[in-house]
Homo-oligomer: A and B are copies of this chain.
Amino acid sequence: MPIIAVNFKVYPQVMGAGALRLAKICDEVASKTGAQIIIAPPMTELSRVAAEVDIPVFAQHADPARVGSSTGHVPLEFIRESGGSGVIINHSEHRMGMADIEFLVKKSKYLSLETIVCTNNVPVSAAAAAFNPNYVAIEPPELIGGDISVTSVDPSIVSNSVKEVKRISSDVAVLCGAGVKKGEDVKKAVELGAEGVLLASGVVKAEDPKEVLLDLLGC
């Protein structure tokens, strides 16, 4: 069964109590179907959401900050202690330095946090694989938030990312994203070698997120 990672971003639908509402829907679908659904709520809702669901809760970002005298930054230790079980790193809306990405992936491993490193093309996917994260998520920035799935517009960016990532580190799984909205997009992603998808608006802005999730999972 494919992995579905839902980035809540900071859409109006997930402000305040909205984050928990969507989190519970994802939790319910995962529980009923046995699917692996990962959610990434807004930073300010992380602890509240993590306390109420069983599925893995990821932070949308982490700072390469150390525990101690740092203000407004989010170190990995705080993600874990707030109930998080992983982190999205280097999302196209929050790019990071190469050395910082490596630091975060390595430290996450030490803290037993899972990592999704986002990338924008095949060489960057290959580079990210050198850090041995759990997932590399390839998302062409020009397709993010759009209506056509990367798997239709640019299938080779997915299959070539898989090929290059596996060449560099066979343990790393590939997700893909951008424009993913339907079950057939997920099915195509898996055919191209991905183990799942990372998506946002397709679920968060849906009128009926549960229906969309079930469709994505092919249920």
Q: Does A79 contact B (CB under 8 A)?
A: yes
One of B12, B44, B72 near A84 (C-beta < 8 A): B44
Task: Kindly state whether residue A10 has any CB partner on chain B within 8 Å.
Answer: yes
- Copies of this chain in the oligomer: 4
Q: Digit string of A48-63 for contact with B (CB within 8 Å is 1, else 0)?
A: 1001000000011100
The answer to whether A102 has its CB under 8 Å from any CB of chain B is yes
Bound Cα distance A64, B68 (Å):
25
Nearest Cβ distance between residue A126 and chain B, in whole angstroms?
Answer: 4
Say yes or no: A96 contacts B97, CB within 8 Å.
yes
CA distance A92 to B106 in the complex (A): 19
In the bound complex, what is the Cα–Cα distance between A66 and B93 (angstroms)? 12
CB–CB B60/A72 < 8 A: yes
**Residues of B contacting A48 with CB < 8 Å?**
47-48, 51
Interface hits, A161-219 → B, CB 8 Å: 164, 168, 200-201
Given the interface pairs A69-B201, A72-B91, the reply to whether A102 lies near B124 with Cβ below 8 Å is yes
List residues of chain B with CB within 8 A of the CB of A15: 67, 77-78, 81
Q: A9-B68, A11-B68 in contact; A97/B97 too (CB < 8 A)?
A: yes
Give 5 A-B pairs besides A42-B74, A44-B78, A106-B123 with Cβ atoms closer than 8 angstroms. A43-B43, A61-B71, A71-B200, A92-B99, A96-B98
Q: A-side interface residues toward B, CB under 8 Å?
A: 7, 9-12, 15-18, 40, 42-48, 51, 59-61, 65, 67-75, 77-79, 81-84, 88, 90-102, 106, 119-121, 123-124, 126-132, 144-145, 164, 168, 200-201
List 20 contacting pairs A-B, 8 Å CB cutoff, sorted by A: A10-B68, A10-B78, A15-B67, A16-B82, A40-B71, A42-B74, A43-B44, A43-B46, A44-B44, A44-B74, A44-B82, A47-B48, A69-B201, A72-B94, A90-B98, A95-B100, A98-B127, A102-B127, A123-B132, A127-B130
